[in-house]
Amino acid sequence: MIVGVPKETFPGERRVALVPGALPALTKASLDVLVEGSAGAAAGFPDAAYTEKGARIAESRGRLFAEADVVLQVRSPGAAGEAGRADAELLRAGQTVIGFSEPLGEPAAARAVAERGVSALSMELIPRITRAQSMDALSSMATIAGYKAVLLAAGALPRMFPMMMTAAGTITPARVFVVGAGVAGLQAIASARRLGARVEAYDVRPVVKEQVESLGANFVELPLETGESEDAGGYAKAQDESFYRRQRETMTRVVANSDVVITTALVPGKTAPILVTAEMVAGMAPGSVVVDLAAERGGNCELTKGDEVVVSSNGVTILGPTNLTSTVPYHASQMYAKNISTLLLHLVKDGALALDLDDEITAGTLVSHEGRVVHPRVRELLGADGRAT
């Protein structure tokens, strides 16, 4: 079976789906790996590193798609914009594609892939169960985003993070407020603490209080009644607008006292909730910084503009990076390659792909198969039976 690894063509995407270090496990499973020329170059992995581990370099992108039985991507159709639509045209019936595909946000793209008779598995949909932890690419990428968000904030803030005792007097530590204590938020807390900041954090899920405090941060208690705050997969659930309004009102004081606010609140397939309003930003001190990790879904801050630096009228800087993990492409690719190769090996039996639809991991990740959209949540969004027409 031939596994193809094309170069990512989405603008600004520097990651690669497979790194040379992941190849021995695949070749041991009797898989033949075909890599597009310079696919890993932007991440620090030259073609020679792949060939040294047994991969072949494809003559062209078209040839790679023509030969590969399974295509591994970081951004597969649905998550790659126009580039993804071009790749969809190269896919053929009976082929399998694995990667991030945003099926809950771009269900029409999932249907287009199904129409071509392609089996598609989405890395976003890896179930949060013990058996699948080593495949959890969302958590891997969130770890990097949380770390890098703190570095962006430290670079933009006109003061240092740690408390210092100097001959010129004592420098007080920066105050950092992290909104959302999922994987990205917890990594942001840990990174800010390592830099010496005083950190506070809030999450709609009270159960994460212990995790926040174990990292040396203070958990902000907001006197709010919530509905069910966590879904079966461990993700925060969307609340109604009245809840978010009351949440913003009670967060205003904390935001005003913070030098840095890092927001991480995302609900899969939905527009990000506004948690930091323009009025709240107006209450922050000049020079303060907001880093909005939800910018790709519209942002948690009312003033966020994707991939732009916005400076408010009172001198607060708002950063809205939409692909932060791609700015750390070496380790992001390394982590992603471990996730996707582990999933692939889970699906392979005796050197061939065997999709066991009774398996929880396979069924939970499979979006399209045999000409149909088969994932229940994506079918529901399409408002039809998911069949290609």
Hey, which residues are catalytic here? 128, 133, 136, 139, 235
* Structure token pair of residue 319: 């950063």
The DSSP line for 43-109 is GT--HHHHHHTT-EEES-HHHHHHH-SEEEEEE-TTSSHHHHHHHHHH--TT-EEEEE--TTT-HHH
The DSSP line for 186-240 is HHHHHHHHHTT-EEEEE-S-GGGHHHHHHTTPEEPP-----S--B-TTSPBPP--
Cβ proximity of 314 and 284 under 8 Å: yes
Beta-carbon contacts of residue 389 (< 8 Å; ≥ 6 apart): 115
Q: Considering only CA atoms, which of 3, 13, 14 is closest in space to residue 82?
A: 13
Distances (CA, A) of 361 to 12, 23, 136, 173: 31, 22, 11, 45
Cβ proximity of 366 and 119 under 8 Å: yes
